[in-house]
Structure 1
């Protein structure tokens, strides 16, 4: 008894042992400031605290995003991965608790006269019912605890991966929707240009019949019409491909989600995004959170690998009743039955298995550190690129709008000079081609500005609240 009292404090201390290394968050391998963000842009808040509906405020666009979040298969897989990780964590957590099973059995044996059962023999019956716990491990060195902790961090990582998948899906859906609007508006522009050129062809044909226009003018006018028809066919195909791309992201074909009245000009997206310091932004990005949880899981696995070098103690026990008569099994006539079987397993010679497993766990942690740092660096690059592009795209759009206006005025003057007989038709057609190209570029520049805001939403961490 004295020996037991002496050993008890050491047992209690051992129960609290945790063999995993202390977790330390790696230093950020990036500068403390963005390369291109102005002080006026910096904000202490974070984008993840804002729901996506506050970014994408157009009702038509919100309906498209809602449909994608409800039906997209990639996001559904990400959500199911979270459920699977949650179930695995519950399994690991259950291993830390005592498991009790109820069991009942009966045995029947025929006894002969030689066994003292009389000349006719007899049948001996035995019934038993008990509660048992099998191989419950005393987690003295934290092996089971660390395995459970690793499963928990893996679960958190899959949750972060789900958030990353949702942010990516929203950004891809919005960009696909914007591309559909661009191609459709370009197609409408080509339709108007074709109608204008067909009228010009009719005019040139009439003038050529009375000798006021040359065959060269007629051929040039016909070529201008066919050129726009080629572009119209191309953009008609683009529009159909855009519809198919959206259907894949949305998860279904639904024409009601693509209204005819939708346009780039009416598509509103929040422009004043909160831009905090890198340490605030990058650590809250879903992909960085995923990488850090994977790092914590790898850290816990080292603790489990270290614990494998130490003894494992398991307890098996049962308590119940036994009787030769089934009717007396749960009465005072039944005899009490119990068993208690402690077992200790001490690793002595394992051919280096435990050492190799520990080495593997430490390498996996180093890999996780590298992945975490890479996620930080990749996020820093993406944000810097988007911030730089935002300012330059605004300048590009303003200049493109001025260019389109100038090209339209030049075409008006050139066409008037042709009708007045001061210039050839070729001058008017060249001016018309230049105007069409500038108008197409203006539409695309507006898409780039909107798409840049969408990219900023994504690279700053996105808001996943619905």
Structure 2
């Protein structure tokens, strides 16, 4: 007994010493995928000293319109993409728990009762009956035949009546084929599953940020189209009045048919714009409902875009490109890269011996009441070792696949970082000029509006032709339409910059 325990202790000690063996390559984060700083100078905005850290600005603070905040909150509750992402996280966590279970023995307890006939005792009884019959026959000489016949019957009866049943009861607890993870195969598989779980969590955060940005952009787009519709309706009235006037002048011979047709052209174009905008507004509402995951109440829909400022006006410009490494999609790619590193370690460990252990501890007795009595306890220990000799190249193929997957993960991580850099740089480039665009477009719309009024007055005074007045009206209409579009671009640019810098998690 002492030698057995000593041997088992030695095996466990050796396993403990080798447990730190890990064949996975050391993880080093890829560097140099993007410049150290974001673009500065030129069209890019100057550094802002009072702008807060965008990653610490919650979306409730970033969006200033209460209706928009309520719509976003509604989307966080009902958006199906978010629900899918949450389900993926739960799946990944469950898979990690399944894989982690291989690190510890799966212990089971069992009990059994066995009832069997003692055929060996029955055979002994039959042998004793034959001997007795022979002796009896020897003593009764005149009735040997009769006695022998009697003895034969007695022997047959002895086989049936002397047989007996044997009962066994046992209770056992132990584990079967538990792998002693000497070379880190199970630990690396567990680490890979954990990193995949982390990656799925970051994917959920990415979906959340994107969903908030998409809802806000869709809400502003709806507001912009509402402004465009209102502008077209106002312009339609002006064009209708001009058309009515020129048609009346044509009928009395003061104006030509050409002038009347030109006025009608403007009127019909405005009619077409109104019909198109009504369609777009309905489609905008459908898109917003899909993003939110339910029908948005009418009181939460925007009625106008105005100056397009539904968010805070200031975001930081002088940020390091290191902030991109904290974006959820970048963290997701990094966790997947770490998981592939761990898979290489597991693939390498497959070339080494695999040691497993089966052990049980229990009690056995021929009586149920004696299961836990003295001398009834029993144990078994069965270590085993397997070393791959020839597998047709399976292990080598698995290792090559793990290495190739790791290279793909490195490239994916670097591309994700580069994409994040490009998104932020593009948003900054537009931000550097968008205020100037809005200012210029506002002044252009104002100038075009004044020019249209002057051209109309000059036409009525007979100084300019009617074509000049019509061109001025069309120019004013187009300038005001472009002003609404530019204001929408400014609002969408701030939302995109907020998203690309990783805001929206709070």
Q: Deviations 1:24-66 (Å, cap 9, x if unpaired)? A: 1111322222223556247997422221122212111111211
Matched, 1:28 2:36: no
CA positional deviation for 1:147:
0.9
Q: Deviations 1:73-102 (Å, cap 9, x if unpaired)? A: 112111111111111111122211222112
**Structure 2: gaps (5+ residues):** 126-158
* Helix, strand or coil at the partner of 2:160: coil
Which residue, 378, 382, 392 being the options, matches 1:351?
A: 392
* Helix, strand or coil at the partner of 1:332: coil
In the other structure, the counterpart of 1:289 is: 331
Q: Which stretch has the larger CA shift, 339-348 or 208-217?
A: 208-217
Which residue, 300, 306, 319 being the options, matches 2:342?
A: 300
Q: Deviations 1:284-329 (Å, cap 9, x if unpaired)? A: 1111111111111111111111211222211111222333344x26
CA positional deviation for 1:443:
0.2
5 Å matches for 1:79-158? 79-111=86-118, 114-115=122-123, 119-120=160-161, 121-158=163-200
TM-score normalised by structure 2 residue count: 0.85
Q: Using a 3 Å threshold, how does the CA distance of structure 1 residues 24 and 257 change in structure 2: closer, same or farther?
A: farther
User: Do the aligned partners of 1:28 and 1:376 also contact (CA within 8 Å) in 2?
Assistant: no
In the other structure, the counterpart of 1:241 is: 283
Q: Using a 3 Å threshold, how does the CA distance of structure 1 residues 220 and 275 change in structure 2: closer, same or farther?
A: closer
Q: Using a 3 Å threshold, how does the CA distance of structure 1 residues 212 and 140 change in structure 2: closer, same or farther?
A: same
User: Do the aligned partners of 2:45 and 2:432 also contact (CA within 8 Å) in 1?
Assistant: no
* Helix, strand or coil at the partner of 1:283: helix
Distance (Å, rounded) in 2 between the aligned partners of 1:228 and 1:8: 86
User: Do the aligned partners of 1:43 and 1:275 also contact (CA within 8 Å) in 2?
Assistant: no
Which residue, 60, 81, 85 being the options, matches 1:78?
A: 85
CA positional deviation for 1:375:
1.1
When Rg is computed on C-alpha atoms for both structures, the one with the higher figure is: 2
TM-score normalised by structure 1 residue count: 0.92
5 Å matches for 1:53-452? 53-111=60-118, 114-115=122-123, 119-120=160-161, 121-256=163-298, 258-259=300-301, 261-265=303-307, 267-275=309-317, 277-326=319-368, 328=369, 330-332=371-373, 335-452=376-493
Distance (Å, rounded) in 2 between the aligned partners of 1:237 and 1:145: 58
**Structure 1: gaps (5+ residues):** none
Q: Which stretch has the larger CA shift, 249-258 or 153-162?
A: 249-258
Q: Using a 3 Å threshold, how does the CA distance of structure 1 residues 11 and 111 change in structure 2: closer, same or farther?
A: closer
Distance (Å, rounded) in 2 between the aligned partners of 1:4 and 1:109: 35
Q: Using a 3 Å threshold, how does the CA distance of structure 1 residues 99 and 44 change in structure 2: closer, same or farther?
A: farther
**Corresponding residue pairs, total:** 464
Q: Which stretch has the larger CA shift, 13-22 or 401-410?
A: 13-22
* Helix, strand or coil at the partner of 2:31: coil
Distance (Å, rounded) in 2 between the aligned partners of 1:426 and 1:226: 17
